[in-house]
Structure 1
Amino acid sequence: MSKFHSILLVFSAFLLLQSCSTNQKISALKPEPDDASPLLYDNSPSFINLPISIKLKDIENKTNSLLNGLIYEDNNIEDDDIEIKVWKLAPISIESYNNGAGEKIKTVLPLKALVKYRIGTKTMGVELYNTREFNLNGIVTLISDVGLNNWNLNTRTTLKSLDWNESPTMIVFGKEVPVTYLVNPGIKLFKSKIEKNIDDAIAKSMDFKPNVLEALNKICTPFQMNETYESWLRIVPTEIYSTNAKLKNDVFLLQMGMKCTMETWVGQKPESKFDASKIILKPVTKIPNQISSNIVAVSTYNDASKIMTKNFSGQEFGTGTKKVKVKNVELWHKNGKMVIALDLLGSINGTIYLTGLPKYNDDKKEIYFDQLDYVLDTKNKLMRTANWLAQGLVLRKIQESCRYSIKPNLEEGKQTMMGYLKNYSPMPGVFVNGTMEDIQFQKTQLTNNAILAFIKVNGTISVSIDGLK
């Protein structure tokens, strides 16, 4: 063998060895994502029970804040021959009253009144009137039936009794003359005005719509359930149901229920969808105590990719000197399946592509990919350049990291939600309590940019209003 051929042989052997020790590159064709359905899905509505309790003491306090000093004035004597001015002399007391016909409200109103009563006629254009002026000072007791109408607690009040602190008097020739025998029968002439005044004051003090809507706004503001997984719960109410208000032991009980949708987002905090103007109050006769919440866990491909990339951190796949590490994972949808792109570094450099069907493991509470396999072009190139990487054993090891556990954020979410059910106060005077059972998985659904997991939660919720503002 000539010296030239010997050198050429050695050089060729060197190149061969050098090529064997150099990392190989793979350039598989990327399966382009298809245009799957947009992020619109059928989210079954949830029904949450919201029993509300309001103390009579709160109504009393607010009624007293609304009625001070001169609480009623009628200066038009022409319409009914009466002018009335009524002053509140001391705080009004409101308590429950039961005469055997059900719970009612008893209102005790210390007042003084100045009443002008006109007697006479108008004949042939000539006015023949005699006006009398009465000074009243006493305690009025009123009884009210209670109802609910368009977010307001409304009452039908009737005057039960009027006890005079002083005998009613009438000014005669500049002097006060007792006229109890005249005034008592005449009470019916203006009692309806007092009754209406009390009804109006209670109605104003018990417009609880602002309280309820503000509490709902706080509850429906998306809140973070898990910081590590960046998961958020969003509640979007659509309708509010309410039974009639009932009075029991100085407390108003109002059974309310909320129809809403519930979503769990993974990633950035979603925007609130609460719109008070679209909330409709519907009267019903009965609301079940148990809540049923259907929640959609929305995991975008981008955020799931980040979590799966963490799963591969520090792992090597292969044997001997033939090993690779996964530096990055990317997910997208194609033809009803998930494409998983793995960026490799090691004996093989480049990107390989796998496909699989997302499934849910109820025991482990995780989303995994069934029927995971290399995309055809990737498999063909691996068979030619890195058959060891195409083997089923390596694929199974890779598949173990191609999973997205939602158990931590389900458990964390449950604990976080429980924190909102243990005397949680979204605003002063409003307290939320309740219980929650285990989370039940329903199904998964793919869209063009997210994996949707549908889950169901049962439990109870109660909301109490203690101190109306």
Structure 2
Amino acid sequence: MFKRILYTLSVLAGVLLYTSCGTNKKVNALKPNPDYLSTTVVYEKQLSFINMPLEITMNEIQAQTNQYLSGIIYEDKNINDDNVMMKVTKEAPIRVTEQNGKVFIDFPLRINGKFRYGFDKFGMSMYDTRDFYLNGTIKLVSLISFKDWKMTTRTAIVDIVWKESPSVNIAGKNVPVTYAINSAIGLFKSYISKKVDDAIAESLDIEPYVLEALDAVSNPVKINEEYNTWFAFQPQEAYTTRAVIANKKVTIGLGVKAYLETAIGKKPEKSFDKNALALKAIDKIPNQFKVNVAAYATYADASAIVQKNFAGERFESGKKYVVVNHVELWGKENKMIVALNMSGSVNGTFYLSGIPKYSMTTKEVYLDEVDFVMDSKNKLLKTADWLAHGMILKKITENCKFSIADQLAEGEQSMKGYLNGYEPVKGVKVNGVLTSLQPDKVILTPNAIVAMILANGKVSVKIEGM
């Protein structure tokens, strides 16, 4: 009887052992909780140089100079020093043209004067005066430069063209007084030249226009409502090159060195201080524009794509195998955690960890330096070491990727919207093109996976209606 019981127990133990060996193992690995080094605020800055070409037409110079110079230009009330007193008035609009890199100015004038003639002899003064009126054009030439935010000129009189020779009527005869008039006019030649220089400098002071434009452009702009994304322009230094006179205009090369910041979450602080921006003269303004374009993918969307990658896949090693039933992604300390719920020779949820990177070739986010999280790996080494390393892990890793091509295109469109005629205030326009893209980094935030793509291009800020 005892032998029969012992035999029965032996058979039962064998059956149980066989059943145990044939049953799939259930393993419970410790879940790594989400932990984001990047909170809801992400700041990415790129140093760039923005061109601000400033063009001033001859018509603008002419209009401003005419506005500044009007009415009485010069008046000499002392007749005793040279026997001439006169009042010089602008007769007609000033005309400004350019030729061979110089600015030519025709300044029509009217002179109302008195000419005194006579003598002092034997203590007696015998003088008489005659009024004279004279119309003519003073021809000037200016060399233009740019300094301290102002267009400066060195102007000189090259000729005076009278409509008729200066003369006065004495005893019924017209007596030429050219010698006397020219002598008097010689005294105010330098005065007229300085007047023209002052007019151009004062009327074409570009500093207020440029600083107001930069101040307007420096206001942070929201370029993505859904992910609360901001773009900020932060000027650091301003540059200028020499003024070039050609094609009926003066072109001044202006440029700004600035940080271009892409921020996610909180609106960046405006950092521009127009009173502290220095203007430096350089030979050539660098043409280097860089900015981060952000492409977003939610964890739910990315998880769904990766799960589709595993659909129908069976990972085998000899007679052992697993299939992936469910995938979930999240971030932990700048690494991507991939939760894989598997069934087959091993049942349970295991956790991979990898560094997220972006491929410009495939426009996909993929994982680098992938391995099972320590607790998952330790449990697999004890129960299924064939799954913990080697080809199976490599094949699983190949499926842990997802495309963000659509999100990248959307990010490009957001940035292009800013670069395509963005007008923060009337008369100030931002225009540019993105010429190349290259991967920068992938940032894991609590709300989304953010791929920062470094964009290169050309950008200019144009000031109109000066």
Q: What is the TM-score when the length of structure 2 is the normalising length?
A: 0.66
1:286 Cα deviation from its structure 2 partner: 3.1
Whichever of the two has the greater Rg, that structure is 2
- Alignment partner, residue 243 of structure 1: 241
User: For 2:244 and 2:410, how far apart are their aligned partners in 1?
Assistant: 38
User: For 1:83 and 1:369, how far apart are their aligned partners in 2?
Assistant: 90
Cα distance change on mapping 1:35 and 1:308 into 2, 3 Å: closer
> 429-438 or 69-78: which moved more?
69-78
1:59 Cα deviation from its structure 2 partner: 1.5
Cα distance change on mapping 1:225 and 1:40 into 2, 3 Å: closer
- Alignment partner, residue 292 of structure 1: 288
1:189 Cα deviation from its structure 2 partner: 0.5
- Alignment partner, residue 365 of structure 1: 363
For structure 1, the 5+ residue unaligned runs are 1-23, 120-129, 345-350
- Alignment partner, residue 444 of structure 1: 441
- Alignment partner, residue 185 of structure 2: 187
- Alignment partner, residue 127 of structure 1: none
- Alignment partner, residue 299 of structure 2: 308
Q: Is the CA contact 1:73–1:84 (under 8 Å) kept in the aligned structure 2?
A: yes
Q: What is the TM-score when the length of structure 1 is the normalising length?
A: 0.65
- Alignment partner, residue 153 of structure 1: 151
User: For 2:459 and 2:84, how far apart are their aligned partners in 1?
Assistant: 52
- Alignment partner, residue 124 of structure 2: none
Q: Is the CA contact 1:263–1:297 (under 8 Å) kept in the aligned structure 2?
A: no
- Alignment partner, residue 55 of structure 1: 57
Return the match for 2:92 from 90, 93, 99: 90
User: For 1:451 and 1:80, how far apart are their aligned partners in 2?
Assistant: 83
Q: What amino acid maps onto 1:259 in structure 2?
A: K
1:216 Cα deviation from its structure 2 partner: 3.2
1:264 Cα deviation from its structure 2 partner: 2.7
Coordinate RMSD, CA, aligned: 5.3
Residue by residue over 1:181-219, the C-alpha shift from the partner in whole angstroms, topping out at 9 and shown as x without a partner, is 311122111111111111111112221222233333444
Q: Alignment partner of 2:93: what SS?
A: coil
Cα distance change on mapping 1:340 and 1:89 into 2, 3 Å: farther
Cα distance change on mapping 1:197 and 1:49 into 2, 3 Å: same
Q: Alignment partner of 1:145: what SS?
A: strand
Q: Alignment partner of 1:159: what SS?
A: strand
1:426 Cα deviation from its structure 2 partner: 5.5
- Alignment partner, residue 8 of structure 1: none
Q: Is the CA contact 1:225–1:412 (under 8 Å) kept in the aligned structure 2?
A: no
Cα distance change on mapping 1:47 and 1:464 into 2, 3 Å: closer
Q: Is the CA contact 1:54–1:464 (under 8 Å) kept in the aligned structure 2?
A: no
User: For 2:294 and 2:415, how far apart are their aligned partners in 1?
Assistant: 17
Q: Alignment partner of 1:273: what SS?
A: coil
How many pairs were matched up?
407
Cα distance change on mapping 1:360 and 1:341 into 2, 3 Å: closer
Q: Alignment partner of 2:67: what SS?
A: helix
Q: Is the CA contact 1:265–1:297 (under 8 Å) kept in the aligned structure 2?
A: no
Cα distance change on mapping 1:267 and 1:369 into 2, 3 Å: farther
User: For 1:63 and 1:245, how far apart are their aligned partners in 2?
Assistant: 18
Q: Work out whether 1:338 is the aligned partner of 2:338.
A: no
Cα distance change on mapping 1:263 and 1:180 into 2, 3 Å: same
Q: Is the CA contact 2:367–2:400 (under 8 Å) kept in the aligned structure 1?
A: no
